């Protein structure tokens, strides 16, 4: 059907007119058929379904692999989020849009198919890399609707993420600065943000507490700001990514989690995480431009989950000359993210075994665009797709 449309279009007939001539029903069928044959679908030869990781105690599950706030037209990727399964539990890294549905589809935990008892019953922690909306927008979903998807009070879930920025970012370009949102506290960190979510949803939480006799939120989770050493947090506007060594801030009997600052200015703090397990190590870059901090954090890891942006997109979006507002966003897109040509050399320098691409911007491009990320990298390149599962270490 799409071929037919393309041929008709190339002969000068607009797609709207073609579809109108088919009537509404036919148009819907045509659009569905196009979506089904989208070039961004993984090729049939890929094999990262659950079966590929069978027998692995530690598994990386890509829940959502798209980056940025846009719901990319024609895209099939959910918002950025990953799960690291270690034995009988899993840890969530970022909570982009769609995460709850993806957790069900990923069949995590023994109760993933029970209406009310899973899959959050074996969630052991949430780790947010930074507080851009595309990384946290469904945290409220996990906390509020989680009550009916397995979130229980067996053990409080820790929610970790960056702390309060401490000051507003500078105004890009010239002019009078706008009035900030929430001037009394314009840059809340993870702990404050989580408390504010609970306040915002208090009507619902109290209904569940008094009527459904559900546990109080205080019994279910506790949010913490990752304690970045204070000597590195002094100058978010002038030195947002000082060179530093990774530091460990969380440990339980399954994982040890370390962090470092990465370069996502003016967002601050922006963090990358390394999870060390008995089976191997997995590093999540978060959103970042090139920085030696990430390479140090990822040294010798088994898997590096790295973000990437195709710079052709911002270039075509904002051709020169640009206004101040356009220039600000353009510079953020190409400096605070990692370009296709830089990803492979970063993975090579870190000496990781596998490079997994996630947080793809734009989130609706075919795999052929991302294949160039393997240039300069001797290890395995995996162009991530939603619900891919990658075994870590060796199968038992």
CB atoms within 10 A of CB 149: 22
Q: How far is the CB of 72 from Zn ion (least distance, A)?
A: 15
**Smallest distance from Zn ion to CB 18, Å:** 39
Q: Should residue 78 be labelled a site residue for Zn ion when binding is judged by CB under 5 A?
A: no
Q: Which stretch binds Zn ion (CB under 5 A): 29-37, 46-54, 70-78, 129-137?
A: 129-137
The CB-of-340 to Zn ion minimum distance in angstroms stands at: 18
273, 284 Cβ separation under 8 angstroms: yes
132 vs 165 by CB, closer to Zn ion: 132
Mark the segment that binds Zn ion (CB under 5 A) among 12-20, 79-87, 271-279, 280-288.
280-288
**Least gap, CB of 288 to Zn ion (angstroms):** 9
Among 94, 225, 287, 388, binds Zn ion (CB under 5 A): 287
Our finding on whether 307 is near Zn ion (CB under 5 A) is no
Stretch that binds Zn ion, among 16-24, 126-134, 142-150, 316-324 (CB under 5 A): 126-134
Q: Which is nearer to Zn ion, 132 or 254 (by Cβ)?
A: 132
- The residue among 57 and 332 lying less far from Zn ion, judged by its C-beta, is 332
- Dihedral of CA 314/317/321/326: which sign? negative
Q: Smallest distance from the beta carbon of 204 to Zn ion, in angstroms?
A: 28
Residue whose structure tokens are 């851009």:
132
Minimum gap (Å) between residue 140 Cβ and Zn ion:
18
Among the residue ranges 111-119, 131-139, 221-229, 352-360, the one whose residues contact Zn ion (CB under 5 A): 131-139
Nearer to Zn ion, 267 or 301 (CB): 267
Min dist CB 354 to Zn ion, Å, is: 23
DSSP bridge pairs for 306: 357
Nearest distance from C-beta of residue 395 to Zn ion, angstroms: 34
**121 closest CA partner among 107, 132, 110, 137:** 110
132 contacts Zn ion (rule: CB under 5 A): yes
Interface stretch with Zn ion, choices 4-12, 77-85, 203-211, 281-289 (CB under 5 A):
281-289
The whole-angstrom separation of Cα 356 and Cα 14 is: 39
Paired tokens of 298: 């990822």
Nearer to Zn ion, 31 or 339 (CB): 339
Q: How many Å apart are CA 144 and CA 151, to the nearest integer?
A: 9
Nearer to Zn ion, 133 or 206 (CB): 133
Shortest distance (Å) from residue 350 CB to Zn ion: 21
Residue nearest to Zn ion according to CB distances in the complex: 132
Q: How many CB atoms are located within 10 Å of the residue 2 CB?
A: 14
Nearer to Zn ion, 214 or 264 (CB): 264
Piece of 15-23, 97-105, 285-293, 385-393 that binds Zn ion (CB under 5 A): 285-293
What is the total count of residues that contact Zn ion (CB under 5 A)? Answer: 2
Contact window for Zn ion (CB under 5 A) among 30-38, 112-120, 128-136, 337-345: 128-136
Give the footprint of Zn ion on this chain (CB under 5 A).
132, 287
């Amino acid at each position: 059907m799409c071929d037919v449309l393309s041929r008709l279009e190339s002969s000068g007939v607009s797609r709207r007119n073609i579809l109108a001539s088919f009537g509404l029903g036919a148009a819907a069928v045509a659009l569905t058929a196009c979506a089904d044959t989208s070039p961004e679908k993984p090729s049939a030869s890929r094999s990262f379904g659950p079966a590929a990781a069978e027998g692995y105690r530690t598994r990386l599950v890509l829940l959502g692999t798209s980056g940025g706030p846009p719901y990319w037209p024609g895209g099939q990727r959910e918002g950025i989020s990953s799960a690291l399964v270690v034995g009988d539990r899993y840890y969530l890294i970022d909570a982009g849009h769609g995460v709850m549905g993806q957790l069900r589809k990923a069949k995590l935990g023994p109760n993933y198919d029970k209406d009310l008892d899973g899959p959050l019953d074996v969630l052991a922690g949430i780790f947010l890399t930074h507080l851009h909306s595309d990384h946290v927008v469904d945290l409220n979903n996990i906390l509020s609707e989680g009550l009916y998807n397995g979130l229980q009070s067996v053990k409080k879930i820790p929610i970790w993420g960056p702390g309060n920025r401490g000051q507003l970012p500078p105004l890009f370009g010239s002019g009078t600065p706008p009035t900030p949102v929430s001037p009394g506290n314009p840059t809340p960190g993870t702990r404050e943000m989580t408390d504010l979510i609970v306040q915002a949803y208090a009507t619902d939480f109290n209904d569940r507490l008094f009527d459904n006799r559900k546990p109080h939120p205080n019994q279910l989770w506790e949010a913490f700001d990752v304690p970045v050493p204070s000597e590195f947090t002094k100058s978010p506007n002038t030195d947002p990514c000082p060179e530093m060594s990774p530091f460990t801030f969380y440990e339980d009997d399954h994982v040890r989690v370390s962090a470092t600052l990465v370069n996502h200015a003016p967002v601050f703090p922006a963090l990358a995480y390394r999870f060390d397990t008995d089976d191997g190590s997995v590093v999540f870059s978060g959103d970042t431009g090139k920085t030696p901090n990430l390479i140090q954090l990822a040294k010798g890891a088994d898997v590096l989950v790295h973000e990437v942006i195709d710079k052709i997109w911002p270039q075509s979006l904002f051709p020169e000359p640009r206004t101040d507002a356009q220039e600000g966003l353009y510079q953020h897109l190409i400096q605070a993210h990692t370009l296709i040509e830089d990803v492979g050399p970063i993975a090579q320098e870190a000496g990781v075994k596998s490079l997994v691409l996630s947080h793809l911007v734009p989130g609706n491009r075919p795999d052929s665009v991302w294949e160039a990320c393997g240039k300069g990298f001797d290890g395995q390149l995996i162009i991530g797709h939603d619900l891919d599962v990658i075994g870590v270490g060796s199968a038992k």
